Amino acid sequence: MYTQEQIFQRYILCKGEEALKTMQLSKVMVLGVGAVGGFCTEILARCGVGEFILVDFDTVDISNVNRQIVATTKTVGQKKTQIMADRLKDINPEVVIHQVQEKIGGERFEQLYQQYRPHIICDCIDSYIQKCEIIKFCTVQSIPIVSSMGAARKQNPALIQSSKLNEIIVCPLAKRIKKTLDIKKEDSYPQARCILSLEKAVDIKVDENGIRQALPSFSVITTCFGVWVAHIAMNRLLHGSFE
């Protein structure tokens, strides 16, 4: 059995022993462990987070293989939370993991929050209504949250950034959420950040019958979104600030 100091020796050299202790005492709830959430979770685990609540109802589909860390041709049909949990245990045998294999909205999220009391929420789901409900609850209750916006239909990872909710621009999903939640310019929401791209989304292709195809996405972009979510969440855990 390897010690925590052995596993995280390079992290300690980078961030220091106190930072590792803080991460080990941190409890993170990740909503969605697919393309964005899977990489976010993996990075936080490799930075020493001691406890995770993994929330995802889905199983791996063959279409996930091009961009999701839980997806290979051998894991098709398996529960994403279980695959992710196994990976995290291989990285850090001492990590504590809770699996919630459900599709959740605002009411169920509130119940889970009260049950587990995580230090921060990493919102990586792509269901619009549920996303709005969760962000609204977190902002009203001043719960720290980092929310990933639209990663599909993007090509340039250099245009991904962190944004305050009241400074959202360009991203169609983020702008729609901003409008639905009636977020004004003067609303600061200091406990919330979103990750979005400043890139104009590419057009959705249609087939020969004029039927819209699935949203295009690939691993470079979704992975970078996950990296950003993890980075901003770690800033908040270590420094009490997203910056």
- Measured from the Cβ of residue 228, the count of other Cβ atoms closer than 10 Å reads 26
Q: To the nearest whole percent, how much of the chain has pLDDT over 90?
A: 88
Residue 148, both tokens: 């990933």
205 pLDDT tier (thresholds 50, 70, 90): confident
pLDDT over 90 (residue 125): yes
pTM: 0.95
Our measurement of the distance from residue 127's CA atom to the centroid of its chain's CA atoms, rounded to an integer in Å, reads: 13
Residue 140, both tokens: 């009203």
Identify each DSSP E strand in 115-172 by its residue range: 120-123, 145-148, 160-163
Domain 4-239 -> CATH class: alpha beta
Burial 129-140 (b: 16+ CB within 10 A, else e): ebbbbbbbbbbe
Identify the top-confidence range among 109-123, 160-174, 197-211. Answer: 109-123
212 pLDDT tier (thresholds 50, 70, 90): confident
pLDDT over 90 (residue 208): no
pLDDT over 90 (residue 146): yes
Report the SS3 class of residue 13: helix
Domain boundaries of the chain, sorted by first residue: 4-239
Report the SS3 class of residue 131: helix
What distances in angstroms separate CA 61 from CA 27, 66, 68, one per listed residue? 29, 10, 10
In the 3-class helix/strand/coil scheme, how is 41-80 assigned residue by residue?
Answer: HHHHHHCCCCEEEEECCCECCHHHCCCCCCCCCCCCCCEH
Q: Give the model's pLDDT for residue 165.
A: 94
Q: Give the model's pLDDT for residue 71.
A: 99
pLDDT over 90 (residue 204): no
Q: Give the model's pLDDT for residue 27.
A: 99
Q: Which H helix or E strand runs over 96?
A: strand 96-100
pLDDT over 90 (residue 20): yes
pLDDT over 90 (residue 228): yes
Nearest Cα neighbor of 125 from 197, 38, 201 is 38
Q: Give the model's pLDDT for residue 178.
A: 94
Mean pLDDT for the stretch of residues 147-157 = 95
CB neighbours of 61 closer than 8 A, spacing ≥ 6?
Answer: 71, 76
Q: Give the model's pLDDT for residue 211.
A: 81
Tell me: the pLDDT tens digits for 90-116?
999 999 999 999 999 999 999 999 999
